[in-house]
Structure 1
């Protein structure tokens, strides 16, 4: 699946001697090229080496004294029907190169199998950078982001190409692409399967039953658009060539985009295909929503990815089928790369992951945080929140991510029917995102009565002026709504009756996103970004007020209770994952002639972490039970207690895990640094620990005095 490139090292780093199963007669090839390649003559010494990577069509570097070329051929031996069509690769690259699209220039196609044993084609060599790992290790955050942006821009350019102008109207079958893809890859899988994998059969059935009803969009699609199929400029964030057009056809462009986004949804341990995952949360790499918005902007279409779960699941199914095919070629002895034997390990994990994503919404695993929608109690959801806390992108899979979950809860509890229709419904469908604007840079926001962002009524509008920051979610390009806490400066109102919450569309004149804020000096784009936002004479209709003027604190308490609890349960999940990593590291590393876990200090850390996690979980479950049975007001003390305890506990556990990992613990190779930033921030978010401790003390004194009075 990889074509011509020179990577981050030398050509010798990227090539090897031609493998035994792919040997061919170089003299015959030399004779065939005479008169066909201007740099090949009778006296030319033609050198041939094979590219080390790639699992599909064997690829070779041809060297003449003055020029490099790349040769792509079919693998030898029996092949799956319809696979390895090098003539199609040549045809599409020729059309695209003529139109100025970045592909290597194709120079020769040969259908005569007598020359080297199979069909083949030759293209010019393109020198630049290719990255095997989509996490782009070794690059700074800014460059990672720029390279991903460049990749999405070139994909949008491909899908915007005119098929008629390219001369590729009959290149594929057009409409109905998704249905054909499910059918094609199911057949490919069954033809290459070496054992029964029930998850693959179930996934195939689910995809067949859930093909989008509207599947009529037609564009030129690449079919295998990934970071490692791109050649980037040696020093610039620019794509010089898109490689490996074996799976190209015409059809639904959304499938291409979803395939490119697949690494954002895969963990980094899916068998041998580890380089397909682990992208989520990597500093600098834009989250899926941002890449989708950029792609749609480049194409001039609405910023959304309809049926996203279907297309992500289809991408994973396709990759699982490809992995199965690679393993099948290994069994036949004609694999293109030396690690093909291990690809069989990835098929079942990919299928299981795809099923989880595909069936989440269909099975009702959607908006789980909202009891009225999911039917779950807060106690039920606490267990789910813990599990999703183990994975940075898991909440988004189930549309349970902050701050949208809190904002949806506010709209559900306090919104008018008009507000629900305009904003809640698209949020519940994940068609848009939102942010929450409460904290301010100019006051001590731990005391919300200090708030200075003002609101006043002017006939049929409210006018908002002020500065907010730590507006989480505002950096998401799909963010269309801000829920803003404001203050009416009226001498007639007490300090807790001056505040209101109002809905402000992000495209309202006067709403200005000033700057993204970093967390511990690092970008937090995976969260949707935290922004400083200025509201300069922002006018919105009076119908945008929630409940009415002066009801802000009432709404805030309704929002923050469950929201705080959900954060705390996710923190328990973070701690569980950190302890898991700690134990794995302690059992695999030796220092001073003993395994790390055999050192008493490390073994005590493990024990203390387990104690702390169990205690915190029980406290969180008790808070959830109290919230369910006695309501938000009665659960205030329990929620304040878990808010303090969860942040402290998770900080301690993650810190121990970092210490056991040493330098690796603060690197991007492990998620611990990102985890620490999250849990340490939790001790400030939704009110600092000190404010909650004061509330706990006040409520405890009230309870104690009430009990004492009852005894008298």
Structure 2
């Protein structure tokens, strides 16, 4: 159905803040005859639920959906699940497409909050309003069906539904402006003059037709609809939290609002025009096609969306669909997997990190490889759980079904633990090597090396940097490759080959110069070739230290010599002279992953910094009360947020434009992420004082990683030159276009 469509809304284990007593719920449902005495009951939480947390309740014979109030402080008048139940019950009785409501429970002793239960409806939910992957004809039919259902809703007779008193009727627009102004004001964490001006404008330009009254949904949009699995037909309208009685054109304008978004927010195209949708709506309702003051209703919709964003920011409730407070939206699957990873990290990875750190401290007097072995044992135990949970190979879109943008958020989360990427089989350099084999490997190479790498049965390394040349210019490489009948022979030295010392490292991808030096063709005389680590002539010379310390957790950064190493010609990847072409495909996603992990690491450093600043006293006050440290905290937050947005922009460019077109964005994040993370960790070290450079806190290890990041995959200066060249090219193109 296309990647924008979910045949089954993704679920996750119940999040910590929303857990409730399942046993009490089971006894309650048994008493209500919805569950047999010996029936079992499983509960999972919908990952993209609305502000009222939503859960999938499954029994051996049936599936239900439970919606409850969120825990904690609630805004007055918000989260009225009893109203949702009431309106759905009335609508279901007249055949309007809603899930069948089954019961409402006001007794908070059952699960801790008020809730209601309804039948589970299976069908298609479209998260991307552009409907990519859907044929033009069906795309049109889906939008027409949505508008027809909205018109049907607004045509229902309130008295026959016994809903005359469901809302306050006339004066809906005035109440909406007043309500959302109050909601925004109550939740706003800073003053936004434009919001104040818009509120004033709306109140001064109320429509003359504000006395028209129908049932209104209040949040009518495409991703609140369930469509038939194969037909362009709405089978259920969801999320009635904001429903009431009032002016129906507010619903229509809210549905049409994405058509008016700026192009930078991916305005929807290739579907029926606003004029066509309005015409269909008016025809179905039997009203004139002219809609006076449509601009007012559109402005009201935008104001309401901004108010919702403020409320959800204050109460830390995730937004969905067009109101989500992120410029770069994950897919529904991406959101679900991210929540699973967060839960898994909290439950298994972070506790394992503490165990690993304690073991390493106890073994300081032992050989570093013994310490490494202890860490590996801990990591492997958690890795098995991750694979069983399906959290495996998340970095590779073709395997995981995730976009680069989806995975960027996940990579940030794994950046909080040094071995977390390995837990999910998403560690460097294996991810880059698997991407190379996936994109450029032959079927034989994939079967022999890619498949066991994806299964986590083996590890690999990447041999590119050399000790005897300036590797910041990769064309300097001297490691040679020449053909000898059915074989290739490799001679040369490599170093900083990360992971080469891992006992499971079975293969290296080696970058070699395969032709004579010719400055005119210097980017087409290098090749990449697969070299099994047990091949005669492959010698592990020594592990390199980082700032004088062992870095064994990554399998070491080895110097590797290749002395007359002979491998079959079939081991060449893509062909001779294609090395730089492959490198561009490999380094784009890999650099993105490194940068988002650096953002996660910086978040952890800032967290540690704030904990220290809030608990230590100097000169009669806490550290954070000293202005210089308060400013450091603010600067760190600024830098992290800026880098995250820059990196998500690069992820979006990779998804939509490809590696080559996203070169400038990738180069920019490579510079920005390393600099930012270095600065944040350095400030945290300064706040910790002597403890910051010790092994008692992880900051010194974190600093060595992020400082290395400014050299790995090309130093900052090389990327800055690339950014400048690409920027000049783009500026010249703009100038020529104006002529």
Q: Shorter chain as normaliser: what TM range?
A: 0.5 to 0.7
> Please, which of 480, 484, 487 is the counterpart of residue 513 of structure 2?
487
Contact (CA 8 Å) 1:279, 1:285: kept in 2 or not? no
Shift of 1:490: 2.7
- Residue pair 2:614, 2:622 contacting (<8 A) in 1 also: yes
- Cα distance, 1:418–1:290 mapped onto 2, change above 3 Å: farther
Counterpart of 1:504 (choices 526, 531, 535) is 531
- 1:63-142 equivalent positions in 2, closer than 5 A: none
Closer, same or farther in 2 for the Cα pair 1:410/1:467, shift >3 Å?
Answer: same
Unpaired stretches in structure 1, ≥5 consecutive residues: 1-194, 204-263, 296-304, 314-356
1:693 matches 2:720: yes
Among 446, 450, 459, the alignment partner of 1:420 is 446
User: Superposition pairs for residues 310-329 of structure 1, below 5 Å?
Assistant: 312=381
**Aligned CA distance change for structure 1 residues 358 and 473 (closer, same or farther; 3 Å):** closer
Instruction: Say whether residues 1:678 and 2:677 are aligned partners.
Output: no
SS in 2 for 1:406: helix
How far 1:279 moved relative to its partner?
4.3
Distance 1:700 1:578, change over 3 A: same
> 1:256 corresponds to which residue?
none
Q: How far off its partner does 1:491 sit?
A: 5.7
Name the counterpart of 1:592. Answer: 619
Q: Structure 1, residues 10-46: CA drift from partner, whole Å, max 9, x if none?
A: xxxxxxxxxxxxxxxxxxxxxxxxxxxxxxxxxxxxx
Change (3 A) 1:609 1:526: same
CA distance in 2, matches of 1:542, 1:275: 46
Preserved CA contact (<8 Å) 1:289 1:476: no
What secondary structure does 2:507 align onto? strand
1:568 is aligned to 2:577: no
Q: Which runs of 5+ in 2 are unaligned?
A: 1-21, 26-40, 44-346
CA distance in 2, matches of 1:516, 1:491: 31
* 1:361 aligned partner: 387
- 1:478 partnered with 2:504: yes
Whether contact under 8 Å (1:435, 1:471) holds in the other structure is yes
2:457 aligns with 431
In the alignment, the residues of structure 2 paired with residue 433 and residue 365 of structure 1 have an alpha-carbon distance, to the nearest angstrom, of: 18
1:175 is aligned to none
Find the counterpart in structure 1 of residue 629 from structure 2: 602
1:290/1:478 contact within 8 Å kept: no
Q: Which residue of structure 2 lines up, in the alignment, with residue 396 of structure 1? A: 422
Residue 705 (structure 1) aligns with: 732
Q: Tell me the secondary structure at the aligned position of residue 659 of structure 1.
A: helix
C-alpha distance in 2, partners of 1:276/1:529?
17
Offset, 1:196: 9.3
| Contact 2:360/2:374 (8 A) holds in 1 | no
CA 1:378/1:602 → structure 2, altered by over 3 Å: closer, same or farther? Answer: same
Paired residues of 1:267 and 1:278 also in contact (CA < 8 A): no
User: What is the match of residue 468 of structure 1?
Assistant: 494
Change (3 A) 1:269 1:419: closer
Q: Per-residue deviation at 1:362?
A: 3.0
Deviation at 1:476, TM superposition (A): 0.6
> Is the CA contact (8 Å cut-off) linking 1:290 and 1:476 kept in structure 2?
no
What SS class does the counterpart of residue 534 from structure 1 fall into?
strand
Trace 1:640-659 onto structure 2 (pairs within 5 A): 640-659=667-686
The answer to whether the 8 A contact 2:440-2:582 is kept is yes
* 2:590 aligned with 1:580: no
SS of the aligned residue for 1:587 comes to helix
**Partner SS, residue 652 of structure 2:** helix
Change (3 A) 1:580 1:706: same
Note closer, same or farther for the CA distance 1:275–1:598 as it changes in structure 2 (3 Å cut): same
Deviation at 1:265, TM superposition (A): 7.1
> Measured at CA, do residues 577 and 423 of structure 1 come closer, stay the same or move farther in structure 2, by a change above 3 Å?
same
Q: TM-score, normalised by structure 1?
A: 0.53
Distance 1:269 1:533 in 2: 32
| Cα separation, partners in 2 of 1:202 and 1:468, compared to 1, 3 Å | farther
Q: Secondary structure at the match of 2:521?
A: coil
Distance in 1 between residues matched to 2:550 and 2:356, nearest whole Å: 22
Name the CA distance, whole Å, in 1 between partners of 2:370 and 2:656.
38
- The alpha-carbon deviation at position 687 of structure 1 amounts to 0.2
Pairwise CA distance, 1:669: 0.7
TM-score, normalization by structure 2: 0.51
1:544 matched to 2:552: no
Cα pair 2:356 2:375 within 8 Å, conserved = no
Alignment partners' CA distance in 2, 1:443 and 1:510: 22
Equivalent residue, structure 1, for 2:298: none
Q: Structure 1's 380 and 661: CA in aligned 2 closer, same or farther, altered over 3 A?
A: same
Q: CA RMSD in A?
A: 3.0
Mark the CA change 1:614 to 1:361 in structure 2 (over 3 Å): closer, same or farther.
Answer: same
Cα separation, partners in 2 of 1:703 and 1:278, compared to 1, 3 Å: farther
Asked if the contact 2:372–2:552 (Cα under 8 Å) also holds between the matched residues in 1, the reply is no
Paired residue for 2:645? 618
1:475: Cα distance to partner? 1.2
Q: Would the aligned equivalents of 2:527 and 2:578 in 1 still touch at CA under 8 Å?
A: yes
The Cα offsets for residues 448-497 of structure 1, whole Å up to 9 and x where unpaired, read as 11010000000010000000000011011111101000002336771011
Q: Deviations over 1:554-610 (max 9, x none)?
A: 000000010011000000000000000000000011111110111111100000000
SS in 1 for 2:492: strand
Deviations 1:54-93 (A, max 9, x none): xxxxxxxxxxxxxxxxxxxxxxxxxxxxxxxxxxxxxxxx
Q: CA deviation at 1:363?
A: 3.4
The aligned length equals 398
Asked if 1:629 is matched to 2:674, the reply is: no
1:450 aligns with 2:461: no
In 2, are the aligned partners of 1:498 and 1:550 still within 8 Å (CA)? Answer: yes
Residue by residue over 1:104-139, the C-alpha shift from the partner in whole angstroms, topping out at 9 and shown as x without a partner, is xxxxxxxxxxxxxxxxxxxxxxxxxxxxxxxxxxxx
1-structure distance, mates of 2:480, 2:356: 48
Q: Which whole-Å CA distance do the structure 2 matches of 1:364 and 1:269 have between them?
A: 19
Give the Cα separation in 2 of the matches to 1:396 and 1:288.
17
Cα 1:491–1:617 shift into 2, 3 Å? closer
* Contact 1:287/1:525 (8 A) holds in 2: no
Asked if structure 2 preserves the Cα contact closer than 8 Å seen for 1:657 and 1:665, the reply is: yes
Tell me the alpha carbon deviations over residues 341-376 of structure 1, each in whole angstroms, 9 at most, x when there is no partner.
Answer: xxxxxxxxxxxxxxxx55522332100000000001
Q: Is the 2:372–2:553 contact (alpha carbons within 8 Å) kept by the matching residues of 1? A: no
Query: Which SS does the other structure have where 1:531 is aligned?
Result: strand
Query: Residue 586 of structure 1 contacts residue 596 of structure 1 at CA under 8 Å; is this kept in 2?
Result: yes
Shift of 1:711: 0.4
Cα distance per residue 1:425-458 (max 9 Å; x no partner): 1111111110000000111100011010000000
Task: Indicate if the aligned counterparts of 2:527 and 2:572 stay in contact, CA closer than 8 A.
Answer: yes
